[in-house]
Amino acid sequence: MAKILLEMKNITKTFPGVKALDNVNFQVEEGEIHALVGENGAGKSTLMNVLSGIYPYGSYEGDIVYDGEVCQFQTIKDSEGKGIVIIHQELALVPQMSIGENMFLGNERGKKNAINWNETYGEADKYLKMVGLSESSRVLIKDIGTGKQQLVEIAKALAKNAKLLILDEPTSSLNETDSKALLDLMLEFKKKGMTMIIITHKLNEVVYVADKITVVRDGSTVETMNCHEMKIDEDRIIRGMVGREITDRFPKRTDVTIGDINMEIKEWSVFHPIYTDRKVVDNVNFNVRKGEVVGIYGLMGAGRTELAMSIFGKSYGSYTMGFLMLNGKQTVLKSPREAINAGIAYVTEDRKGNGLVLSNPIRVNTSLANMKGVSKNGIIDTDKEYAVAVEYKEKLRTKAPTVEQNVGNLSGGNQQKVLLAKWMYTDPEILILDEPTRGIDVGAKYEIYCIINDLVKAGKSVVMISSELPEVIGMSDRIYIMNEGKFVGEMKAEEATQENIMACILQSAGGGEPK
């Protein structure tokens, strides 16, 4: 019988007004990959924050037994000292520092007050090799892609002598190729005896790597499934997560009439903001009609986000060429404010960094993009602001005790709903959604899809950028395929398959390898 490496007993954690964990029990055996799944707000990340010392001993009830020893971690340094290392969804890397500097930040190599740089970079290169990354450790973080940055985080964990590695949404920012490579790396680590806990909403990944799956629902453990003793598929996991069957992950649209072209982009090119001679978007042409969902799919680095931001008041790029037509009329939008006034909204892929003010309540975040709607003569009417926030909270079924709740305390799915509310309150005609369901669970995704369907039913136009092929195919009326800054294909929903879309990318010039 395998040794139990970790046991969390009767863990209860309470925040003001909410019990996040209620008598949770969780066991992990040595040398296994254990998936922790559940809807947003179920308590997964809270449980891992208790384990890693982010929530110190005394701030929760219950016991942590690790490697046969009762542990009372006060800081994350305490848990790392025992070999428990957590890699969060938001990568903790400093862009302007080198890979090697990042890997040993707070864990420096050297003596007294002097850093030994030869040892730093030599050690870093050794760990980079272990994760299959060929980059020099002297390269700056800002000069490597997201997939490679994720590998740097894992190498950084290995440098801390990790025995139990916790990966929180490790592939949320990766394309399918990089995601598969990371999962295969996890399986290689397992062969070498490492124990891992993975938190992910991508259930196909859970089925691919997990030995056991523990389901958390509403702050309590529901069940633990042994993948070697029973047949586990995605539908079985979903049933455990939401407590019911979800027969169709993409709600059908009804009573929607696709109308005239609302927005058209012609001969659109965008140049990099720093490397000004580099074309990031190259001569793109596309359109979207009223009542239509247009999907844009491409591998990481294809230029999708750069395209979206450049349309939204030139908020990306040193220089933009081409024509933007709104309702058949050529329009020049010089700023995001001009784009908002013209009826365009852009829902960023980075809700925490660029989309929301986490330290502010739902009430304030909801009105951020349309302050005129809740103010008079430059003075905010807080009663109206409150009423607007309540209206959208109810309309989008955002789970929060009150609109005075700080957005930073909400789950990812509910943060995404607040972000949507912020832009819906501007009453846009064209809504550009950049990775609208990144890092949120299957139940919250379904609710977001229903919101999208309601928008197009009301005659709005939706442009949806997504790295998840099933989502693009399941939600779009038409799909544009993007690779290396160019549109390399267009398909109607009925002819789009994962195979057809990937073949289109691979047949385009350069093969579409992500940076």
Same fold, 4-242 and 256-343+428-515: yes
Pairing of strands 478-483, 486-492: antiparallel
Q: Compute φ and ψ for 232, nearest 5 degrees.
A: -115, 125
C-alpha to C-alpha distances, 498 to 178, 201, 467, nearest whole angstrom = 17, 20, 12
What fold characterizes domain 4-242? Rossmann fold (3.40.50)
Does 242 have pLDDT greater than 80? no
Q: What are φ and ψ of residue 119, in 5° steps?
A: -65, -40
Mean pLDDT along residues 413-438: 92
Whole-angstrom distance, CA of residue 497 vs CA of residue 505: 13
pLDDT digits (tens, 9 = 90+) for 98-113: 999 999 988 888 887 8
pLDDT in tens, 444-463: 788 889 999 999 999 999 99
Residue 245's pLDDT is 60
Q: Cα–Cα distance between 81 and 63 in angstroms, integer?
A: 18
pLDDT of residue 244: 64
CB atoms within 10 A of CB 99: 28
Q: In the chain, what percentage of residues exceed pLDDT 90?
A: 58
Beta strands 33-37; 212-217: pairing state: parallel
Distance CA 251, CA 247 (A): 10
Burial class of 102 by CB neighbour count within 10 A (0 to 12, 13 to 18, 19+)? buried
Task: Write down the pLDDT at residue 203.
Answer: 86
**325: enclosing H helix or E strand:** strand 319-326
Burial class of 139 by CB neighbour count within 10 A (0 to 12, 13 to 18, 19+): middle
The residue type found at 59 is S
pLDDT at 511: 41
Q: How far is CA 435 from CA 287, 411, 463, 469, 478, in A?
A: 19, 17, 11, 11, 17
Residue 210, CA distances (Å) to 26, 182, 197 in order: 15, 14, 9
C-beta of residue 55 within 8 angstroms of C-beta of residue 83:
no
Arithmetic mean of pLDDT, 414-442: 90
Q: How far apart are CA 74 and CA 36, in angstroms?
A: 23
Quote the CA–CA distance of 150 and 277 in Å, as a whole number.
Answer: 29
Query: Dmax of the chain from CA atoms?
Result: 72
Residue extents of the structural domains in the chain: 4-242, 256-343+428-515, 353-427
Q: In this structure, what are the phi and psi dihedrals at residue 312, rounded to the nearest 5 degrees?
A: -80, 75
Q: Provide the angle, in degrees to the nearest 10, between the axes of the packed helices 382-395 and 412-424.
A: 120
Q: What average pLDDT score do residues 319-326 get?
A: 95
Q: Is 279's pLDDT higher than 80?
A: yes
Structure tokens, 320: 């933009």
The rounded distance, in Å, linking the Cα atoms of 85 and 158 is 9
DSSP 445-456: HHHHHHHHHHHH
247-276 pLDDT, tens digit per residue, is 677 888 888 889 999 999 999 999 998 889
Fold classified for 256-343+428-515? Rossmann fold (3.40.50)
> What per-residue confidence (pLDDT) applies to 236?
86
Each residue's pLDDT tens digit, 196-228: 999 988 888 999 999 999 999 888 999 999 998
Q: Cα 42 vs. chain centroid, distance in angstroms?
A: 17
Give the model's pLDDT for residue 369. 94
Give the three-class secondary structure for 62.
strand
